[in-house]
A and B are shown apart, each in its own frame.
Chain A
Amino acid sequence: GEDVEQSLFLSVREGDSSVINCTYTDSSSTYLYWYKQEPGAGLQLLTYIFSNMDMKQDQRLTVLLNKKDKHLSLRIADTQTGDSAIYFCAERFDRGSTLGRLYFGRGTQLTVWP
């Protein structure tokens, strides 16, 4: 459960859609999260999805979950320069001594060009 993989960088033009991908390791993960970190700031919870869902939409954000492939994605529609940040994917474990533990990916640096 410690190998949450994300690509490190993504660049898009303002107004385009951004898709940030993540693969996780444990099929028994109960929740999967997306956090945003702006420069010099803490982690801001963007959205999360329960493992029995395939999709969740929240305004400009769409989360897709493919449990079979252990693949999670975050789509940001109409990306703005203010969306430039690092985006972290995290999976939550709820087994035995790992109860409630989050494992994070290394983050995807999203750069939005005007």
Chain B
Amino acid sequence: DTAVSQTPKYLVTQMGNDKSIKCEQNLGHDTMYWYKQDSKKFLKIMFSYNNKELIINETVPNRFSPKSPDKAHLNLHINSLELGDSAVYFCASSLRDRGETQYFGPGTRLLVL
């Protein structure tokens, strides 16, 4: 009965590798987001998709590529991982016509060595 789920919960990898984080929501929402939380807990939006269409794309390196196969899924692929990519990545979802209150997943803790 999890509303917004992410996999994996923890990800430890070497610099230069390529990795993906998956997100799924079962709330029937039409908009999904990726946020990055740094070591100082600062939370900043990276991407947003509405009905599989990219609507927010912050200044994020091209190494980050979101993919939305359908409205319930938004995956994040990261190429050539760097030390500075270490952070907690949160997925969120909302329903555009219902005040867009965003519901967050549990986060994926990425550590790049």
Interface residues in chain A, defined as those with a beta carbon under 8 Å from any beta carbon in chain B:
31, 33, 35, 37, 41-45, 48, 50, 86, 88, 92, 97, 99-102, 104, 106-107
Contact = CB atoms under 8 A, between A and B. Distances in A.
A85 to B, nearest CB: 11
Contacts of A88: 43
The prevalent SS among residues of B at the interface is strand
Given A43-B43, A50-B99, A106-B41, 19 more contacts: A31-B99, A31-B101, A33-B101, A41-B106, A41-B107, A42-B4, A42-B104, A42-B105, A43-B104, A44-B104, A45-B102, A45-B103, A92-B100, A100-B48, A100-B55, A100-B94, A101-B45, A101-B56, A104-B43
Contacts of B104: 35, 42-45
B90 interface: yes
6 contacts: A42-B4, A43-B90, A43-B92, A99-B55, A100-B94, A102-B45
B44 interface: yes
Contacts, number: 52
B107 A100 contact: no
B56 A42 contact: no
B41 A107 contact: yes
A92 B98 CA distance: 13
A108 B90 CA distance: 19
A36 to B, nearest CB: 11
Interface in B31-63: 31, 40-45, 48, 55-56
Given A41-B107, A86-B41, A107-B41, A102 B102 contact: yes
B55 to A, nearest CB: 7
Contacts of A86: 41
Contacts of B4: 42
Contacts of A43: 43, 90, 92, 104
Contacts of B44: 104
A33 B100 CA distance: 11
